[in-house]
Amino acid sequence: MKNFGYAELTWHSEMKRKIHFPFAFLSLFRNFAVMKQCMIFAAGLGTRLRPLTDTMPKALVPVGGQPLLRHVILKLKEAGFDRIVINVHHFAEQIINYLSANQNFGIDIRISNESDGLLETGGGIKKAQPMFSTEAPILIHNVDILSNVDLAAFYDYATRLSGDATLLVSPRVTKRYLLFDDDMRLKGWMNIETGEVRSPFPWVHEANSSLFTLHSSLNRFAFSGIHVFHPAFFEAMYQEPERFPVMDFYLKNASCHNIFGFLKEDLQLMDVGKLDTLDQAEQFIKSLL
């Protein structure tokens, strides 16, 4: 089903329960927003992009003649985001100098410096907390992700949902899936290749113990690397160590916090993580124009 001027919010594909909101209607909410803030994960070593990343950070690897970071920042700026926090580690000064040379693209960009040591995704969010407003949710976006996601519509939806976190997912085929109930509440994670299951709910482990068969109330979707985190959720992070993955944090807290999925069935996404994907990424960007 194609959308022409509508945001389609799908809870579960088999149930055919879809809510349509005109984008013009969604824009009314944007006018009342105090601000829109985002974090870009750009601290990674980019080992799969070597030898390019032997001399530059992954964020500055060019795709279509422009660094990955530029593509993501401009997409966020177009979506109305006015504060962006970027974590840096590998060749951190190159990223800082690049942003300075481009006058921070005319928006409020703040650097969370992890030069002393990588903190992983959860630790990176936790360290950056003082740089965020407590008044607005935080969109989290990997620097090496290119997609057709309407970031403004997704952010607006997650803001109205008022969950602790909202994860953008799709029916994409992969080895690792997030597990949701019919209300799109996060219940667990599974690796269909190894059979590993992670969940705070014992019945989820039991449901997947035989031939990886899902419980009738569970649905599996692939994570996109794009999610919205509510500042109130920082309180649950205080007990976490300095360094930890955010997905482990979400799974740990799925039984006591409201962590939702947002299903985008027509998701087009490219993870620019390997050298052989760079040419494909250039064509992908052109296809989105």
pLDDT, position 29: 44
DSSP codes of every residue in 31-73: HH-S--EEEEE-----GGGTTGGGTS-GGG-EETTEEHHHHHH
Pairwise CA distance, residues 8 & 80, whole Å: 20
* 21 vs 163, higher pLDDT: 163
pLDDT tens-digit series, residues 46-103: 677 687 778 889 899 888 888 999 999 999 999 999 999 999 998 999 999 999 999 9
Q: What value does the mean pLDDT take over residues 9-23? A: 40
For residue range 204-214, list pLDDT tens digits in order.
876 655 444 55
Instruction: Assess whether pLDDT exceeds 70 at residue 136.
Output: yes
- Give the pLDDT of residue 207: 60
More confident residue, 215 or 183: 183
pTM across the whole model: 0.83
Q: Interhelix angle for 120-128 vs 246-253, to 10°?
A: 90
Length reported for the chain: 289
